[in-house]
Amino acid sequence: MVFFRSVSLLSKLRTRVTQPSSLNNSVRWLQIQSSSNLDLHSQLKELIPEQQERLKKIKSDYGKVQLGNITADMVIGGMRGMTGLLWETSLLDPDEGIRFRGLSIPECQKVLPAVQPGGEPLPESLLWLLLTGKVPSKEQVDALSKELRSRATVPDYVYNAIDALPVAAHPMTQFTTGVMALQVKSEFQKAYEKGISKAKYWEPTYEDSLNLIAQLPVVAAYIYRRIYKEGKVIPADASLDYGANFSHMLGFDDPKMLELMRLYVTIHSDHEGGNVSAHTAHLVASALSDPYLSFAAALNGLAGPLHGLANQEVLLWIKSVVSECGENVSKDQLKDYIWKTLNSGKVVPGYGHGVLRKTDPRYTCQREFALKHLPEDPLFKLVSNLYEVVPPILLELGKVKNPWPNVDAHSGVLLNYFGLTEARYYTVLFGVSRSIGICSQLIWDRALGLPLERPKSVTMEWLENHCKKVAA
């Protein structure tokens, strides 16, 4: 379902109406949050029982339905394309791109509450959407913002754990260390040791998840100031929302940068369950590891250059283009540099995606932000030229299924424009954002009682023998 805000006087809890989507020809049912209840936890207590029954019915009625055939290529190729995970908060379509609880990014920008009309969605509003499947009111988002601020106090021993590392340690190493230190106060671990009922696992998971989401910007900002700003920490501002406060604690208060941070956190929050960081969190949590342990594991996956570290690599590569060719590089010069990169055995960072077969909508919305706020920026113009030059070259290679730009192709240029130039730090921003999607799903993992993840593995000998039998 796609969810749009509306006003209803006919229902105390929810109303459904229809409205044509500007993005396709189908008519979608709309579910709207019209309850005056501002408490997110209470909303979940209402929703969870019906979703538990829904999952039981799916298992009972359709448990033996086949979802596809597994090939040897899939087994060898990192399980690519296998349908094997339940992930409620978002779905990635190869052609449409990401949908958060049914909403596309343009639809989120249209209906989720913002600070001002026409502004970027507040990350708290997306958190509400991911957890409940409902578009919140501005009052509910404000209440959630206030709750997150009340949970954002970070114990001194977390800073001490980070300070035990060399300042030169990669920001992601310091970030993961901080998350592991936060784990000391895990509510889930305490509840499990006391023998909490399985039916209530989701409640301490909820507490841990909201605490973690609230504390991450504080930890991340501390690391940034420690590494790049001589340790001069900027206190949180209780008047600011989640994204704006994060930007403020980093040291960036330009209103346009606050809007960019709201957009950045929102669009990076979730990307269905099969990517490395999301899958890692789901896998680790399936062993009943608490959200801190699960998210720390996810961050270690995010730190890989084939995943979240790519946003760092893109800006470094773009700056290498400028260093060699100048800011006013021609398209012919760009083509030569791209071929030089490819012929050296490297990839053009920021292009291609494991699932998408079109331009990443997250790239598109960042491009629209740049056209609105920094149309004359030389690096933005370079990114625009790359958009025209790179895909035809990748198609010419004949081996690339998706030659189009992904989210990483654009984010670094925007951050760089507003003064956040330290590319090694960018994956930490990604990590803060991804906590919203990962933690939302972890809460539902517990609520639905999803089991220990344990796929079957085989040897090459088994694979050879099995394929020979099938081919005979």
Q: Kindly indicate the confidence band of residue 29, based on its pLDDT and cuts at 50, 70 and 90.
A: very low
Closest CA to 175 of 266, 344, 295, 58: 295
For residue 373, CA distances in Å to 85, 117, 364 come to 39, 16, 14
* pLDDT of 401: 74
Mean pLDDT of 447-465: 94
Cβ(421)–Cβ(375) below 8 Å: no
Which of residues 38 and 161 earns the better pLDDT score? 161
Amino acid letter, residue 391: P
Distance CA 472, CA 465 (A): 11
Distance CA 194, CA 188 (A): 10
Active-site residue numbers? Answer: 307, 353, 408
Cβ(152)–Cβ(218) below 8 Å: yes
Q: Kindly indicate the confidence band of residue 437, based on its pLDDT and cuts at 50, 70 and 90.
A: very high
Distance CA 258, CA 264 (A): 10
Closest CA to 97 of 386, 351, 407: 407
Q: HSE (CB half, 13 Å, CA atoms) of 37?
A: 16
CA dihedral (376, 377, 383, 386) positive or negative: positive
Distance CA 103, CA 82 (A): 24
Taking only the tens place, the pLDDT of each residue in 199-249 is: 999 999 999 999 999 999 999 999 999 999 999 999 999 999 999 999 999
- Cβ density class 349-381: b for 16+ within 10 Å, e for less: bbbbbbbbeebbbbbbbbbebbeebbeebebbb
Q: Is the pLDDT of residue 252 over 90?
A: yes
Taking only the tens place, the pLDDT of each residue in 89-126 is: 999 888 888 999 999 999 999 999 999 899 999 999 99
Which of residues 408 and 426 earns the better pLDDT score? 426
* pLDDT of 35: 54
For residue 435, CA distances in Å to 81, 238, 269, 438 come to 24, 21, 7, 5
Distance of alpha carbon 30 from its chain centroid, rounded? 24
Cβ(412)–Cβ(383) below 8 Å: no
* pLDDT of 68: 84
Task: Transcribe 41-83 into DSSP letters.
Answer: HHHHHHHHHHHHHHHHHHHHHHTT-------HHHHHTTTTT--
Mean pLDDT of 182-200: 97
Distance CA 405, CA 387 (A): 7
Distance CA 75, CA 398 (A): 24
Q: SS3 for 428?
A: helix
* pLDDT of 85: 92
Left, alpha or beta for 352 (phi > 0: left; psi -120 to 50: alpha)? left
Closest CA to 310 of 240, 224, 399, 411: 411
H-assigned helices in 80-201: 105-111, 123-132, 138-150, 156-163, 171-182, 187-193
Mean pLDDT of 351-379: 88
* pLDDT of 115: 96
Distance CA 246, CA 122 (A): 12
Q: Is pTM, for the whole model, over 0.85?
A: yes
| CA dihedral of residues 98, 454, 198, 128 (deg, nearest 10) | -10
For residue 389, CA distances in Å to 81, 162, 343, 398 come to 29, 43, 16, 16
pLDDT > 70: what percent of the chain? 92
Mean pLDDT of the chain: 89
Q: SS3 for 399?
A: coil
Taking only the tens place, the pLDDT of each residue in 267-293 is: 999 999 999 999 999 999 999 999 999
Which of residues 309 and 464 earns the better pLDDT score? 464
CA dihedral (371, 123, 101, 38) positive or negative: negative
Q: Is the pLDDT of residue 21 over 80?
A: no
Q: What's the Rg (C-alpha) of the chain?
A: 23
Closest CA to 361 of 183, 96, 167: 96
Q: Kindly indicate the confidence band of residue 22, based on its pLDDT and cuts at 50, 70 and 90.
A: very low
Which of residues 12 and 472 earns the better pLDDT score? 472
* pLDDT of 17: 32
* pLDDT of 8: 36
Distance CA 403, CA 219 (A): 36
Mean pLDDT of 332-350: 89
As a whole number of Å, the end-to-end CA separation of the chain is 46
* pLDDT of 36: 61
What is the chain's length? 472
H-assigned helices in 305-407: 310-325, 331-343, 361-373, 378-397
* pLDDT of 24: 41
Amino acid letter, residue 102: G
pLDDT > 90: what percent of the chain? 70
